[in-house]
Amino acid sequence: MTNNKKLEQLEQFKASDAGKPITTNQGVKITDDEHSLKVGDRGPTLLEDFHFREKMTHFDHERIPERVVHARGTAAHGTFECYEDASDITMANFLNQKGKITPVFVRFSTVAGSRGSADTVRDARGFATKFYTEEGNYDLVGNNIPVFFIQDAMKFPDFVHAVKPEPHNEIPQAQSAHDTFWDFVANNQESAHMVMWHMSDRSIPRSYRTMEGFGVNTFRFVNEAGQAHFVKFHWKPVLGVHSLVWDEAQKIAGKDPDFHRRDLYENIEAGNYPQYELCVQLIRQEDEFNFDFDILDPTKIWPEELVPLRKLGIMTLNRNVDNFFAETEQAAFHAGHVVRGIDFSNDPLLQGRLFSYTDTQLIRLGGPNFHELPINRPVCPFHNNQRDGYNRMTINKGQVSYHKNSLQQNTPYEVPANEGGYEHYQEKVEGRKVRARSESFKDHFSQARMFWESMTPVEQEHITKAFSFEVGKVEDKGVRQQVVDMFANVSRPLAETIAKNVGVMPPDASIAEVTAPFISKAVSMYENPVPFLKSKKVGVIVNEESNISAIKQSLEAQGITVELISNHQGEIDGQPIDHSLETASPVLYDGLVIAAMFNDTVTNKKVDTFADEIYNHYKTLAFLHQGAVSEEYNQHPGVTDSVDDFIDALKLGRHFDRTNATG
């Protein structure tokens, strides 16, 4: 593994309790950790029992407030390797040398649900990266969808209140299928573009390893000459972008609510390290107004056909956390944590985020010293005149804690920009103080229409079904009607289908579809397939008559993870059986090989249920018992009777050309 300064730093905070005597937090050895101090063996507990009080007080305070949004998440350590010298566009040190390695810590998350919700709900996903650079920490905080619901941070509390469980009954958890969310959408039509992405398969990713990431907001790159570019950030997964189907996502939420968390953890442990290329889109300052959309509008993308991507490096996640709470939960990300060469734009959503993150960490992590927690500490030295406060860990020496001073020769001292000090890009801004929105932000539907028109027929079908499900859960008929009327601006056929499915009137004839500026194939998942095999998980149903070793060897030779399933656990021919038909579930696999049938009808019906589930979710299926494909699925796409054909079909992904599948 590449030398990692952050991991070296974390080592000094690690401790192992194995083989050690139990003590109090003050180091006093304990003779009895089972019983409180009492008056007699049946008498009252004594207040003087300092060990009991310390142990119980710590337990009572072990939980910190969960994040208001992005509460459910998981994380990993890794490295970022720079592809090239990018000093022509930015002063950022970690991007200025080919092959330069920077430690990173990445947290993935759902947005709306609590810590106890499921991984596979329909939701945007957080994708937050902390770069431990030589010039300080840089946090790239984004989502797996490149746009957002609102244009101004002032509305963020309103949006979150609307998407969270409704306050009168705390229902539903981690879902957008309810009245207040859709009421917000219908009455805040700037959300149209984001909702189209949200209703697409992007909001039910197959895994964090196959999920794109976006910085969402518009930032600035500034080089040593003071030249600036507007910039948007992209993380492109090397394995490509892959999703679940909705029926599958719902079932996984019940079968394994930790599905994404488990997938990330197990693959890193197995050495299947997730990788993502960091790409940027760049617009010169002088070209700011050369587009038919406002480049600062967070509800708009910069189409890749107009503003191409430039690859800057690759991130590899190669190490799981040692302690979930100390690292994943205590990690503090902040869009305002930037290094020289990276600056902010006047994106009104970004401007509000710069306040909100710090404010949130103060209450969640107990005060202003959250930067001193091991996971948040930079790898470079930090010196300032900040002192005291909750959880202060640094022991500052000396009598001076202010600037300017003579007692300490005016140190810590300021660093001029030409010697590496951070300096904001000098932008001239004029205008009256107003509460208003730019006229250039008022087109809410053209890019939503572009997204719809850029989808394949399969993706459009999934979006239509998603709208029908989500809006169909809304109890207020008036809200359902408002949603239908709103999305007639995007696609009248879409709105008419939704209206029929949710039981309201078709949209008024006066509502006209907007015109899509052009088609962007880059936003379609299925126009950009990336076939792969390594790390896919396959279930193999076997019995004593199956050629287990040969099947398993062929699959594992391709990097496929194999789990053996039978009518009971134990061993067959020396091979450990991972699951019985009771403990396994087809929704947890990318494909299924049926290499056995059994002597009783009940067991064979369970096998048939497995096959049906795999087939209806468009996954690859092989029938190897007696060399025969089930008559029900004979000649259907992605259904085979050999291991070699199964491997070829599995590599391609889902087989949406099955016209009779119901998933």
Which structure tokens are listed for 164?
């969270």
Cα–chain center distance at 283: 27
Q: How far apart are CA 140 and CA 350, in angstroms?
A: 12
Residue with tokens 């459009």: 460
Q: Any idea what the Cα angle at residue 406 is, between residues 402 and 409, rounded to 5°?
A: 95
Cα–chain center distance at 245: 17
Strand, coil or helix: what is 591? strand
Q: Which residues pair with 88 in a beta bridge?
A: none
Q: How far apart are CA 107 and CA 126, in angstroms?
A: 8
Are 213 and 234 contacting, i.e. CB atoms less than 8 angstroms apart? yes
Are 595 and 546 contacting, i.e. CB atoms less than 8 angstroms apart? yes
| Helix-helix angle 477-487:179-187, to 10 degrees | 40
Catalytic residue among 4, 51, 70, 636: 70
Beta strands in 485-636 (DSSP E): 537-541, 561-566, 570-572, 575-577, 579-580, 591-594, 620-623
Task: Please confirm, yes or no, whether 188 is among the known catalytic residues.
Answer: no
Q: How far apart are CA 434 and CA 651, in angstroms?
A: 56
Q: Any idea what the Cα angle at residue 290 is, between residues 286 and 296, rounded to 5°?
A: 80
Residues whose CB is less than 8 angstroms from the CB of residue 19 and which lie 6 or more positions away in sequence, other chains included? none
Task: Please confirm, yes or no, whether 178 is among the known catalytic residues.
Answer: no
Q: How far apart are CA 584 and CA 571, in angstroms?
A: 16
Instruction: Provide φ and ψ at 210, rounded to 5°.
Output: -120, 45
Residues whose CB is less than 8 angstroms from the CB of residue 355 and which lie 6 or more positions away in sequence, other chains included? 153
Q: How far apart are CA 82 and CA 523, in angstroms?
A: 26
Instruction: Label residue 342 exposed, middle or buried (CB < 10 Å: 0-12, 13-18, 19+).
Output: buried
Catalytic residue among 4, 93, 96, 143: 143
Burial 103-125, CB ≥16 within 10 A → b, else e: bbbbbbbbbbbeeebbbbbbbbb
Q: How far apart are CA 288 and CA 276, in angstroms?
A: 28
Run of H or E residues at 112: none
Instruction: Compute the residue count for the chain.
Output: 663
Residue with tokens 């209450």: 363
Residue among 465, 456, 469 at smallest CA distance from 519: 456
**Sign of the torsion formed by the C-alpha atoms of 605, 607, 611 and 616:** positive
Helices (DSSP H) in 113-229: which residue ranges? 156-163, 179-187, 192-198
Residue among 54, 51, 57 at smallest CA distance from 38: 51
Percentages of the chain per state (helix, strand, coil), in multiples of 5: 30, 15, 50
Catalytic residues: 70, 143
